[in-house]
Amino acid sequence: MRRRWLGRALLYAALLAGAALALLPMLWMVSASLMPTGEASTYPPRLLPRAVTLEHYRDLFTRLELGRAFLNSAIVSVSVTLLSILVNSMAGYALAKFRFRGRDRLFALLSAGLVVPVQVSMLPLFLLFKELHLVNTYWAVIIPGMSSIFGIFLIRQYVLALPDDLLDAARIDGAGEFRIYRSVVLPVITPILATFAIFTFLSTWNDFMWPLIVLSDGSMYTLPVALANLVGEHVQDTELMMAGSVLTVLPVLLTFLFLQRYYIQGLTAGSLKG
């Protein structure tokens, strides 16, 4: 009895210590962002602000125009999410439910693509967008994000489980193929579409390397690029940088907190089978 009690105490001590370590950097980020200038650079370090101030958040929008970067991030992430649902669900459906010549070879080709690190494509991709005069536009970030082999496979896997009879019944009723996709297939695969949408939104919002390469003008920067750029100029301004970090992290963290059910389900399902 005594041992069980001790074991339980140790278990919770470890769980709480882990939670503290996981959360501490984020809690400190929020706390420091509310401190008056200079207070985060004192010794001994302060954990909580002596007086809460929102001046750094105001600075982000008035002096540094991070509002523009926020807007850029939102436009890019929402566009990529909506377009990639459409593009990849059509492809995933076609791979799952149609039999046509070349399907298996196409599937093998796409699988091979999963092995290639995306950085390999970036040098020529940059040259291509330069040639198309799309460098420094939203399109340069949106277009490569619209199609995803991972997304196609994720959706295909889910569609495979739909009974063929459902589609055949609609065909006998005389529905066209696009109509079947739109009114029969899409409504029943919304759970996996939700998973994929959240996944795409988070990864587009957080993406750094490609936007850094292809966006050269400050007014087009997404938040991570703008933030990385600010570090160079305002490295001493700890509180301001923390406010910028909060602004960047908050949308994805809230998205995750409210929609984690879909996100976590999809991640575990997709990864265990893939």
Residue written as token pair 């295909």: 156
Interacting span for other proteins (CB under 8 A) from 51-59, 60-68, 74-82, 217-225: 217-225
Residue 174 interacts with other proteins (CB under 8 A): yes or no: no
Binder to other proteins among 6, 45, 179, 183 (CB under 8 A)? 45
Residues 239-258 that bind other proteins (CB under 8 A): 241-242, 244-246, 248-249, 252-253, 255-257
Interface with other proteins (CB under 8 A), residue from 62, 111, 219, 260: 260
Which one of 79, 85, 93, 262 is in contact with other proteins (CB under 8 A)?
A: 93
Distance CA 206, CA 223 (A): 8
Q: Which long-range contacts (CB under 8 A, 24 or more apart) does 60-64 make?
A: 60/240, 60/243, 60/244, 60/247, 64/230, 64/240, 64/244
From the DSSP assignment, how many helices (H) and strands (E) are in the chain?
Answer: 14, 0
Q: At closest approach, how far in Å is the CB of 244 from other proteins?
A: 8
Q: Please pick, from the candidates 1, 2, 43, 217, the single residue that binds other proteins as defined by CB under 8 A.
A: 43
6-35 binders of other proteins (CB under 8 A): 7-8, 11, 14-15, 18-19, 21-26, 28-29, 32
Asked if 51 interacts with other proteins (CB under 8 A), we say no
Q: Per-residue x/- marks for other proteins, 127-166, CB under 8 A?
A: xx--------------xx-xx-x--x----x--xxxxxx-
Place of tokens 């959360």: 23
Q: Rule CB under 8 A: which of 220-239 touch other proteins?
A: 223-225, 227-228, 231, 238
Name every residue whose Cβ is closer than 8 Å to that of residue 89 and which is 6 or more positions away in sequence: 155, 185, 186, 189, 193, 196
> Which of positions 63-92 make contact with other proteins (CB under 8 A)?
86-88, 90-91
Name the minimum Å distance from CB 202 to other proteins.
6
With beta carbons less than 8 A apart as the criterion, state whether 84 and 96 touch.
no
Which residues, numbered 110-129, are part of the site for other proteins (CB under 8 A)?
110, 113, 115-128
Q: Residue 235 CB: number of other CB atoms within 10 A? A: 9
The nearer residue to other proteins, 51 or 164, going by C-beta atoms, is 164
A 10 A CB-CB count for 22 gives 9
Q: Could you tell me which residues come within 8 angstroms of residue 255 by beta carbon, excluding any fewer than 6 positions away?
A: 198, 201, 202
What span, in angstroms and rounded, lies between the C-alpha atoms of 41 and 142? 39
Amino acid at 209: M
For the CB of residue 62, give the shortest distance to other proteins in the complex, in Å.
20
Residues 6+ apart with CB under 8 A from 82: none
Residue 194 found at the interface with other proteins (CB under 8 A): no
